[in-house]
Amino acid sequence: MKVRVQRAPFDFAAEAAAFGGAGAGAVVTFTGIVRDCEGSLQRMEIEHYPGMTERALTRIAEEASARWGLVGGLIIHRYGPLVPGEAIMMVATSAAHRAEAFAAAEYLMDYLKSRAPFWKKEIRSDGEAWVSARDADEQALTRW
């Protein structure tokens, strides 16, 4: 399982190709993109807690790997300024069968949302605000 926290953009297609999946029967990938629903988002600033971020992501990744017997796994999460349309993060999982690969990817996403120390601030044409955590994201953890 690989974990990368970086400021620089990543190339999803190249990462997915390099991830491969040898020995696995299924590969699942997910990418999160900066969206602009209201049409006023200029950029998003992502802050994180260096040290704890890598530690939290590694723990989440190891848990997923053990639980679903993954062949491989990858988490890339960016920080710093991002504009609408840019990829924020990606996860990839590989397993013998698709059920495990899908479940592990969803688990990684659910835990990334509320257990990895990232905070998003939206800078809009009419002001800026920190993105609030959603109750639904915290609730999502109870299914695991």
Q: Is 130 in the site for another protein (CB under 8 A)?
A: yes
Rounded Cα distance, 99 and 110, in Å:
16
CB of 49 to another protein, least distance (A): 6
Q: Mark 87-126 with x for binding to another protein (rule: CB under 8 A) and - for no binding.
A: -xx-------------------x--xxxxxxxxxx-----
Among 138, 139, 141, 144, binds another protein (CB under 8 A): 138
Rounded Cα distance, 144 and 107, in Å:
7
Q: Is 77 in the site for another protein (CB under 8 A)?
A: yes
CA distances (Å), origin 52, targets 48, 49, 58, 85, 115: 9, 6, 10, 27, 10
CB of 53 to another protein, least distance (A): 9
Q: Is 144 in the site for another protein (CB under 8 A)?
A: no
Among 49, 96, 102, 103, binds another protein (CB under 8 A): 49
CA count, 13 A, side-chain hemisphere, 127: 3
> Torsion angle, CA of 140/124/56/138, rounded to 10 degrees?
-20
CB of 125 to another protein, least distance (A): 20
